[in-house]
Structure 1
Amino acid sequence: MTAAKPLTVEFCGEFYRVDPGSEFGIGREAELTIDDNPYLHRRFLTVGHDFGMWWLSNVGTLLTATVTDATGTMQAWLAPGAKLPIVFQTMHVMFSAGATTYDFTISSDEDYFNTAVQVDAAGGSTTVLPVTLTTSQRQLIVALAEGVLTQTVPGRGTIPTSAEAAERLGWSMTTFNRKLDNVCDKLDKLGVAGLRGGRGKLATNRRARLVEYAVTTRLVGVEDLPLLDRHDDADVEAALDPTAPAEDRSSDD
């Protein structure tokens, strides 16, 4: 059997070598200390070699992570207690703790799969389905992701509150919340995990999860930032969207 090759973890421009036989922790107090953020587990994720493969494991109890390949066409939601095989030469990992979103990259010399296949691994790996968004829906996602897309320190960005994002767009909270409900519902129906907290319930951290998914899968990018300067009536476009729920085709009170 060929000896396992080491991995490289990159965060904020710093590189960490991970050798077989050792476990590399990522968190508030670990081999890779991300931040002193009190919302972050002391030891949240680990990278280790077992059964002839490298694995990324979520050893936390509350937080989740979004994992994609280099192209963003494969996506996994790594829930607490789940582990995922590292099967691509480059894997991007993004997660949120409180109002801050972090991301880092894992690089390997091995490449077991290409992005044309679907991987059903622990943690829920799926191919990314095409998503059609109206302009106002895209504006909402960009407003939430602006701090991540424009971060001055690579690897660390912030997510605004709903009130801050609504103000940034010039929308009322009624319009913003309705749009957020509709976007989350649309993605949930496509199989995106983490946007609903159970039957008929919305996830409490859905804004963070929405940003993670949208950025890691390239659903939005820096090229969409000019949309934030558009101040069209959000409901006019919604009325023209035949896929929008009835409440999204009505005007504000």
Structure 2
Amino acid sequence: MTGTGTGDDAGAQAAAGVAPLAVEFCGEWFYPDPEGPGFDVGRDADLEVDDNPYLHRRFLRFVHEGGMWWLVNLGSRLSATVSQAGGGVQSWLSPGSRLPVVFPATTVVFTAGPTTYELAVHLDDAPYAAVGGDPQDEVGATTIGMPSFTLSQRQLVLALAEPMLRREGTSLVEIPSSQAAADRLGWATTRFNRKLDNVCDKLDRMGVKGLRGGPGALATNRRARLVEYAVASRLVTSEDLPLLDLPDDG
């Protein structure tokens, strides 16, 4: 993993009158140059997150334009889940879209193949200090209340999100297969898939993007998208993990 930017670059950002932006991945910090063409994240980029062949060579770009920092999706296949650190406002950044970085702390989660990655983004002097409204509707932003799930539905989400919730000191994990998650719960795979359908349908009706591939069709990467949404929005947290060991409600 390589990247550009040091603590000195953060001072240069401030000296230039630009709100300093910092990006953290796996404990390493990067400080994009506001006067440069952009700071790219991908398989072969300024921040090389992994040699994962499912990941675009250059997937995301942080760029300073018009007095603001922006996050741009350069990819053609992959999307990213971008949320205010508290989980109250969340956007689904699809290929070709961009959104402004406006919160002091932002989480960026994306999946390529079996692996999910997380970036932490920090912005000094951010224009928004609290959750409110839906400032990024054009790229699918949502401000969603806590949905009501049965115990077994929450257990399903937790079984898929468990590696993300248990990660320590790492920003990349593998999402369990449906078979592995069903085995974790002691369920038949058919039961797991039926309940996964129900959970995805419920969230889709609430306006959560990326869980359906089109009218009447399920997204092929819905497990990854469900985990991205659940973790970024704090639908489930590490404090919920003991629920995995409870008898389910059928």
TM-score, normalized by length of structure 2? Answer: 0.90
8 Å CA contact retained: 1:95, 1:103: yes
Counting only pairs closer than 5 Å after superposition, residues 60-71 of structure 1 correspond to structure 2 as 60-71=75-86
8 Å CA contact retained: 1:83, 1:122: no
Structure-2 separation of matches of 1:105 and 1:152:
14
Amino acid at match of 2:118: D
Amino acid at match of 2:33: D
Structure-1 separation of matches of 2:96 and 2:132:
27
Counting only pairs closer than 5 Å after superposition, residues 103-182 of structure 1 correspond to structure 2 as 103-113=118-128, 114-182=130-198
Counting only pairs closer than 5 Å after superposition, residues 72-111 of structure 1 correspond to structure 2 as 72-111=87-126
- Following TM superposition, by how much is the alpha carbon of 1:121 offset from its aligned partner in structure 2, in angstroms? 4.3
For structure 1, the residue ranges without an aligned partner over 5 or more in a row are: 236-253
Structure-2 separation of matches of 1:110 and 1:74:
19
Partner of 2:35: 21
- Bigger shift: residues 119-128 or 170-179: 119-128
Partner deviation per Cα, 1:56-114 (whole Å, 9 max, x = no partner) = 00000001100001211000000000001001111100001111110011111132222
SS in 2 for 1:112: coil
8 Å CA contact retained: 1:85, 1:121: no
Counting only pairs closer than 5 Å after superposition, residues 23-38 of structure 1 correspond to structure 2 as 23-38=38-53
SS in 2 for 1:191: coil
TM-score, normalized by length of structure 1? Answer: 0.89
Partner of 2:26: 12
SS in 1 for 2:162: helix
SS in 2 for 1:91: strand
Structure-1 separation of matches of 2:68 and 2:141:
17
Percent identity of equivalent pairs: 55
Give the root-mean-square deviation of aligned CA atoms. Answer: 1.3
8 Å CA contact retained: 2:104, 2:126: yes
- Bigger shift: residues 174-183 or 119-128: 119-128
- Following TM superposition, by how much is the alpha carbon of 1:27 offset from its aligned partner in structure 2, in angstroms? 0.5
Structure-1 separation of matches of 2:133 and 2:244:
35
Give aligned pairs, total.
233
Structure-2 separation of matches of 1:108 and 1:19:
13
8 Å CA contact retained: 1:43, 1:59: yes
SS in 2 for 1:29: coil
